[in-house]
Structure 1
């Protein structure tokens, strides 16, 4: 039996419930072809033990950066780097990038064979929310020109390489300043904006995350 431990910021909020349900559904579908059963548990970060044996027993799926700093797991260093937003911005400034607040997210699906880039997600605040996808407060796709896409892809690729990123779904938060990319931060998991991909992208970002964590192949991302 595969034991999966989903770690969240707090249990019970509507947003967390949607995210966890989406990942649980992805796990169920992704495990349906396996002879091995999968047991999924959800725990808040504050209740997570730093017991060294926890990773050996469970497949850890943190959906928050607030994991204990002393918790030893494969992505420990990566999560620490993403948690240090100021430090990550300083690194990007050394690369001559602008940094600051952003309201867009570039999904990067990093598989064992390379990266797939999803359509950009934007904040739907203040927009006319006309469908279930945007009702979450986020909307996908935000259409960009190739001229806008290429610098984003280049930045995402360079950033993940510098962090020795493991296969997973990443959301790179960014904005624009005078037409240039403005880096905000990086999430090493499908954070709240990924909700916009449900019923919009195939496979959705939660299904992609589970596929990456378990080494299942992903060939393409499509918008319905």
Structure 2
């Protein structure tokens, strides 16, 4: 690796700060109590939000990277798992970031009910950035230290996770009558399916871009 020591230190500090911001985004204290009482009223409701699931996956990816580097692990399977997690996490965070800010700019009520957007319950911009932007930046930093290889399995994994998410939130809605986002609640079955798989296609596009970005980053380092 040809990176200068100051560059490596700066990158590591950036990674730590971004990881801390992502961890903050998962905490209850990041959300107003009134927001939590409404959004998370149903059992396990926090797990129907793609934002939360992607945050958990991103944090797990980075922690696994730290573990591998600390233990100097050489297991081929573990290293492949880590690289695949980077690819999938980057892609999903790309979807979350792009779709959240696009829909929010069009109409915030596509993502949050009128009650949750009220001044007393609205989420702070700091929390939104920690949840819907910095995780994507963190995965960009994380991939820069690892040589990624284009694998069809990663694209299939994105599609599979999209299918699993759609199935999970549909089953949850049938039991508790709750959808994570108003845009899904107000849409018919066909539109819901289309929205989820549009997200999957966008995720695959982010993955294809990641492979190219990674090649460029690695050339600059090695």
Structure number with the bigger relative contact order (C-alpha 8 A, sep ≥ 6) is: 2
After TM superposition, the score normalised by the length of structure 1 is 0.25
Query: Larger radius of gyration, structure 1 or 2?
Result: 2
Considering fraction of residues, name the structure with more strand: 1
